Amino acid sequence: MAEAERIIGTPDIPEAEGHEGAEPEQAEGKVSPEAAEPAGQDAGGAEDGEAAVDRSPATRRRRIILLFSVAVLAYLLDLGSKMLVVAKLEHQEPIEIFGDWLRFDAIRNAGAAFGLGEAFTIIFTIIAATVIVVIARLARKLYSLPWAIALGLLLGGALGNLTDRIFRSPGVFEGAVVDFIAPAHFAVFNLADSAIVCGGILIVLLSFKGLDPDGTVHKD
């Protein structure tokens, strides 16, 4: 009998029980640090709004394409409308669109949007050029679709009025902007002014919502 036990060997009961008891304990809720770490990272990413942001190069390219597409559309609409107004409406009687509420009346504006600050034409020209440079720099970190639209509107409007200031009389960087949309009891403006205002309002709304150009959402 002793010889048989020596050949077969005596099982180590405590170690076997301890090993078997460890497996249910781990299954009941003890998770390894390696398994717990990704979950913690996902939770933290969801809190600061970065988990769902796609920052791949392809996404950034699409946002930049959208920005410049909106800018080109706004610019061409503004440029085309001004060319038509100068050719057909300038030095003519205003055209009534909705009675006294809305008219097309061609004027030359040396100031900023809506006829403000006519004594600072060069300053407004510099501001418009600065806005264009800032937008170009922001485009390098652009992943948000609403921001792409907002910046595109700003860029198209700024380029539209800057074109007038460079190429129209009385001279380079002093040119007068063509305005023609004349609502009742309001300043006369153009499509570039409208694009700038719409883009600015959209940026304010996005800022209130805590959305950055790179797609990060800040939650208070």
Catalytically active residues are: 179, 193
> 3-state DSSP: the chain helix, strand, coil percent, rounded to 5?
65, 10, 30
Residue 212 one-letter amino acid: D
Half-sphere exposure (CA, 13 Å, Cβ side) for 42?
5
Q: How many Å is the Cα radius of gyration of the chain?
A: 33
What is the distance between the alpha carbons of residues 113 and 78, in angstroms, rounded to a whole number?
14
- Strand 102-109 with 95-96, pairing: antiparallel
Do 212 and 218 touch, CB atoms closer than 8 A? yes
Q: What is the residue whose two structure tokens read 């107004």?
A: 85
Beta bridge partners of 107: 179
DSSP code, position 92: S
